[in-house]
Amino acid sequence: MKKYLNKNYALLGKTPPKDERFTKVARALFFNPIGHYILFGVLCYVVAYLATNKIIPDLIPYSLQSSLAISFSFAIASIGFCLLMGYSGLASLGTGGFIGIGSYSVHYVMYQAELPLPVAIVAALLVAALIGVVVGFISLRIEGIYLVILTLGLSEILRNVYMVVEDKIKVKNFELFGTLIKKQHSLYIVATLLVVVMIITHNIINSPTGRAMLAMKNSTAAAQAMGISLIKYRLLAFVICTMYAALSGVMIMITIRSIQASNASGYYALITSLNILAAVIIGGFKSIWGAVFGSFVMYGMQTAILQDIPFFAENPEFITFISGALVIIVVMFFPGGLAQLILELKAKVKVWYKKIKEGIYGKDLG
Amino acid sequence: MARILAKKNSLTQKNIIKLRKHLDFYREELASLEGKYDEKLDKKLNEFLIKGNRKIAKLAFEACNKEQYAEAEFEAKLQKYDVRSYMKQRKLNHGIAKKIFKKASKGEPFGYLLVSRDKKMRALDKKRAKYIERLEKQKARFLEKNSLTFVVPYNRKKAALENEYFALKAKLEAEYTAKLYKEKSKIQDKIIKNEKKLSKAKHKIKATHTLPDDVLLEVKGLKMYFGGLKAVDDLSFNVKKGEIFGLIGPNGAGKTTVFNCITRFYNATGGDMYFENKYGEVVDLRSFKVHDIILQGIGRTFQNIELVKEVSVMENLLVASTRSYKTGFWGHVFATPSLKKEDKMLRAKAMRILRFMGLESYAGWYAMGLPYGILKKVEIARALMADAKLIIMDEPAAGLNDSETAELTETIRKIRDEFGVTILLVEHDMGLVMNVCDTVCAISFGQMLGIGTTEEIQKNEAVQEAYLGVSEEE
């Protein structure tokens, strides 16, 4: 019967309809980057649900859930840094200070003024945008290593301001849309916001704005000749980066609940900026998934995986060696990060597949 | 005075830029509407046909094989008959053989037995021939009869399907033309509205300068000093519409400085530059910023290729049309349908340009690994993508081999003829300049040595001294 149908199509000069094995929803979810982000969010929800409700005991340890929450909070800042460094070609070491903006707005808005979370997020974003504009204007005059030093200085100034204003900040359990959010529920919020940030970033990267940023990174002269205003896109890049960092600060505050600003190896210090730089280097400068994975390596791997290995449990100081070694290996062998490694693997698998096919069916058919 | 007026009108200028962007978009949209519903119509009709054909496919199957079926039945019946007649013959032969054996053992004559056997055999043959006749009649009747039961319903259903098809086609066509007309008129309304606004805005800006009809760019007394160094000193020339204008000179003569002054990378110390932009107005180039120059219709290519290496050739072209997107930043963030629409339109335009340049097959390639000659062409395509009226090329033949240079020469002529662009180029390759340029301007140490056709320049003594004389000795 099928033969006759195909013959009919051939007689009509038409091709048979496309293979429609999948429904529209399945195609949108499995064959679309945005669908992948949403699936990732759903997976996070499942992990959070299983870890907090203990339906199957010992399947997912509580430590994994909390480490995921922390690393995904930092992943938001990493994605912003990706956009700044990988796409706009601007460098910054001020992420630690910018993260503080979010945390302090949570402290003041939610703990002291007792307003809901969305207000805190909006406040954080507004302040961050203001600071981003300032840094963006600076970046018009200064470039390269000097910009790095300047942002580092700005970050330290911000940290000192935090220390003077209020050294210890905290936040209580709060209600969101009628449900009480405890510390162990934070992964839900973090995952939601991370997915939103991923989708927005993906859209920006694939839009004229993303292309303009890339053009600006490659050559400022060519970009200007093509009608791209440096002021606009540098400001935009810094504003987006600081906004994401502030959002990440909000999420960190919700997951950790109390932070001390004067801690030299704390969350607002230089170490955070460096860690995020390392995360982006490990993951790949131009990859959203890379940024998320890199921040998991930097912040989540220790509590989630390495603590269970006896050697690292006895000598916790060796844990930092792993991330350091990873950075060195990645920079030496995969300058594009782990995203590049995966792309290369994909290409190799394709070649192998083709070879196997040729081995079976012969060269002409394969 | 001109500059003050321009500054005063900068707000109106911005408004004009915005209005023009909208107008360009609407015009492009109007053009892209032409074949919008053809695909949809085709798809729907195709779907209809496939569905209908699926329904009558079984009938078609039987109708197609009717004759084969009758033939097979005929053969089968005949075979059956032959088997039966063979058994009869065997029986007959067997019986006669027995009788002959009996007669022969008694010593009686048996010849008549053989004669009667032959008679019976002949009768059997006759019977077979009759049977075949009967079978053929049966077959004919079967075919006749089946044409009534199978083929006619198939034909009838097929005719009905065709009728339905034509009815649907007419209906859909009417529907789509109505829709198209509605959309078109909507866009035309928008265009008229915007044009009115634009003409109002234009009235506010007074023309400060006029150019002769055939002149596109006028450079008057251009001065560019870097501290004490006079890179360009009092240079004046006119570039005519549709010509290929070459700027030559020894190293350090200030050619690239002139370019950078025209494209506003450098803020000229003195002098005026007037340009008839792509909307046919004369503008003072000094009143624009670097990144606004392209909106007036001046595109440029670079000496060392300045493409974005980590995206495809197609996206490199789209970089040039960043300013022609009507959708704002929030549209980009949420990937709105209007952005997708614009993207589709601009991609089609980019594909048209790539096809013209013969780069169609490279559209999806990354710019990173492509050969130098192709990248040069991509840069020219990028300038065309921004609807440039004047393309400024900085040493287009640098780094190309002879065959690539010859190809480039042809490309330059081709884009001049096809797109009506004017080309202003700086070049060291004298072969290319003398081959392709209509007018050549020779400068040395920021001052003009001579201007004219290639022959005039070749004969010019000052130029020979400064430039060509040296190369002759080599």
Please report the sign of the dihedral spanned by the C-alpha atoms of residue A221, residue B379, residue B294, residue B241. positive
Asked, for residue A360, whether it belongs to a domain, the answer is: no
Whether B315 and B356 have beta carbons less than 8 Å apart is answered as no
Would you list the DSSP string of B2-33? HHHHHHHTHHHHHHHHHHHHHHHHHHHHHHHH
Residue B49 in contact with partner chain A when CB distance is under 8 A: yes
Relative to beta strand B447-452, strand B215-226 is unpaired
* Residue B242 phi, psi dihedral angles, 5° rounding: 75, 15
The beta-carbon neighbor of B319 closest among A1, A211, A229 is A211
The pLDDT value given to residue A190: 92
Closest residue by Cα to residue B404 from B370, B438, B453 = B370
The pTM for the full model equals 0.77
The beta-carbon neighbor of B291 closest among A14, A204, A227 is A227
The pLDDT value given to residue B310: 83
Q: Crossing angle for the helix pair B402-419 and B372-385, nearest 10 degrees?
A: 10
Taking only the tens place, the pLDDT of each residue in B150-202 is 666 677 777 888 888 888 888 888 888 888 888 888 888 888 888 888 888 77
Q: Residues of B with CB below 8 A from A219's CB?
A: 302, 306
Q: Which long-range contacts (CB under 8 A, 24 or more apart) does B177-182 make?
A: B179/B37, B180/B33, B180/B36, B180/B37
Quote the tokens at residue A236: 């935009």
Q: Which residue has the higher pLDDT, B280 or A86?
A: A86
Domain B215-473, CATH homologous superfamily name and number: P-loop containing nucleotide triphosphate hydrolases (3.40.50.300)
- The helix/strand/coil state of A120 is helix
Asked, for residue A78, whether it belongs to a domain, the answer is: yes
Q: How far is CA A184 from the centre of its chain?
A: 21
Pairwise CA distance, residues A341 & B262, whole Å: 45
- Structural domain range at position A31: 23-305+319-333
Asked, for residue A18, whether it belongs to a domain, the answer is: no
Asked, for residue A201, whether it belongs to a domain, the answer is: yes
The pLDDT value given to residue A7: 44
Taking only the tens place, the pLDDT of each residue in B75-124 is 888 888 888 888 888 888 888 888 888 888 887 777 888 888 888 888 88
Q: Determine, for residues B299 and A229 on separate chains, whether the beta-carbon distance falls below 8 Å.
A: no
Other Cβ atoms less than 10 A from the Cβ of A329: the count is 11
Pairwise CA distance, residues B180 & B183, whole Å: 5
Asked, for residue A82, whether it belongs to a domain, the answer is: yes
Residue A211 in contact with partner chain B when CB distance is under 8 A: yes
Other Cβ atoms less than 10 A from the Cβ of B121: the count is 13
Count Cβ neighbours within 10 Å for each residue of A167-184 and write b for 16 or more, e otherwise. Answer: eebbbeebeeeeeebeee
B246: β partners: B425, B440
Q: Residues of B with CB below 8 A from A226's CB?
A: 294, 319-320, 322, 382, 386
The pLDDT value given to residue B8: 60
Pairwise CA distance, residues B30 & B106, whole Å: 114
Asked, for residue A112, whether it belongs to a domain, the answer is: yes
The pLDDT value given to residue B460: 79
Residue spans per domain, chain B: 33-201, 215-473
Closest residue by Cα to residue A200 from A271, A150, A130, A125 = A125
Counted domains in chain A: 1
CATH of the domain at A135: 1.10.3470
Q: Residues of A with CB below 8 A from B61's CB?
A: 1, 4
What are the pLDDT tens digits along chain A (366 aa)?
Answer: 344 444 444 444 444 455 555 677 777 788 888 999 999 999 999 888 888 877 777 777 777 888 889 999 999 999 999 999 889 988 889 888 899 898 999 888 888 888 888 888 999 999 999 988 988 888 878 888 888 899 999 888 988 898 898 888 888 877 788 788 788 888 899 999 999 999 999 999 999 999 999 999 988 889 998 989 988 999 999 999 999 999 999 999 888 888 888 777 778 888 889 989 999 988 888 889 999 999 998 888 877 777 777 777 777 777 778 888 888 888 888 888 888 888 888 888 988 888 887 777 666 544
